[in-house]
A and B are shown apart, each in its own frame.
Chain A
């Protein structure tokens, strides 16, 4: 019997008034991908954590899937990374 595989956590680093961040939330929600949303403007240490994930690039949204960081990814690249991490994303 196959044991269920634990999928890597998805964390997104966002800003409250960023339209690309809103689109990203909608995209992940539409694909039923659970995620943690870190608002870097209001979370202590949020910018520093985002910079660690992005390799020092100040950019929102930044996405962490397990140990993989994606900086302002387009949705094709995001879906590919999610599939590679084991998420059942079609396409």
Chain B
């Protein structure tokens, strides 16, 4: 199974330095990824675990947070500080991690890469598995990345079983 998150971001361009994203990911866990910025895509690979995440600018129109809540049943999980949108979202990024041999490692890689990209670009993370729109402070403050990964796997499995 592929895993996806969407990032609703005020950022309009990838970080100019692939090494910046690699370091942003590496500092948060055990992965030592390689990062390639290729046109509209960022490709992040971890050779040790044979994992790959692709982030790409999405052509979808930007979802309004209110619509995600009222129409799609999402919950906003963010602090007041997170909600302060001095710079409004401008673009949507689709982040997809391909199926790996170990689903827990895949989910942890997915969460860690998303976290690194989000740290650099800012905005809100849309998590379809828990139907949650995360603000940065709650994402970082509520639980460690391993717990986010485990919850993603559990919610994904539960949805698949229904």
Contact = CB atoms under 8 A, between A and B. Distances in A.
Q: Does B bind A?
A: yes
Interface of A: 15-19, 22, 40-48, 51, 56-58, 60
A15 B16 CA distance: 13
B27 A58 contact: yes
Which 5 pairs from chain A and chain B are nearest by CB? A17-B122, A47-B20, A58-B27, A47-B23, A41-B120
B25 to A, nearest CB: 9
Interface of B: 9-11, 15-17, 19-20, 23-24, 27-28, 81, 84, 86-87, 119-123
A19 B120 CA distance: 13
30 contacts: A15-B119, A16-B122, A17-B9, A17-B10, A17-B121, A17-B122, A19-B84, A40-B120, A41-B11, A41-B16, A41-B120, A41-B121, A42-B16, A42-B17, A43-B16, A44-B16, A45-B19, A46-B17, A46-B20, A47-B23, A48-B19, A48-B23, A51-B23, A51-B27, A56-B27, A58-B23, A58-B24, A58-B27, A58-B28, A60-B119
B122 A47 contact: no
Chain A contact surface mostly: loop
Contacts of B122: 15-18
Chain B contact surface mostly: loop
